[in-house]
Amino acid sequence: MTRIALIAHDDEKPEMIDLAQSYEATLSEFDLVGTGTTSKRIMAETDLTVERKESGPMGGDTQIGAEVAEGRMDGIVFLRDPLTAQPHEPDISALLRICDVHDVPLATTRASAEYILEGLAQDRADD
């Protein structure tokens, strides 16, 4: 099954919820994993099930990076706040590096997230 990670900085969590609601039918076909608070909010505001990792400051992004390294991740949506990210929020640098090494797409904006979700959904339909 296609496995997608969902991560969002605090100021981007409302955008992530909106994305999850807009793509709920598509996301329901995927195996979802996410950092703690993001996962909790998505599950509270949609009918989606998301495997919760630790929160970002506690290493959830690192847990997701390990799955990338193990070949268990098909894509990541990391909606980040490029201007006012807080020190306690996950840093994208290590995650971006491991995704580049393993050729796993990582979206950092709503537009790029939509492309990844639609592309992965199409891949599933073609199989």
The CATH number that applies at residue 59 is: 3.40.50.1380
Domain count of the fold of the chain: 1
Would you give the DSSP letter of residue 106? E
What domain range is 85 assigned to? 3-126
Q: Determine the angle formed by the axes of helices 13-22 and 36-45, rounding to 10 degrees.
A: 40
Helix (H, G, I), strand (E, B) or coil at 76: strand
Question: Is 13 part of any known ligand binding site?
Answer: yes
Question: Is 53 part of any known ligand binding site?
Answer: no
Is the predicted pLDDT of residue 88 greater than 80, yes or no? no
Structure-block tokens of residue 75: 């894509």
Residues carrying an active site annotation:
61
pTM of the model: 0.93
Residues of the chain above pLDDT 70, percent? 94
Question: Is 62 part of any known ligand binding site?
Answer: no
- CA–CA gap between residue 11 and residue 3 (Å, rounded): 25
Helix (H, G, I), strand (E, B) or coil at 41: helix
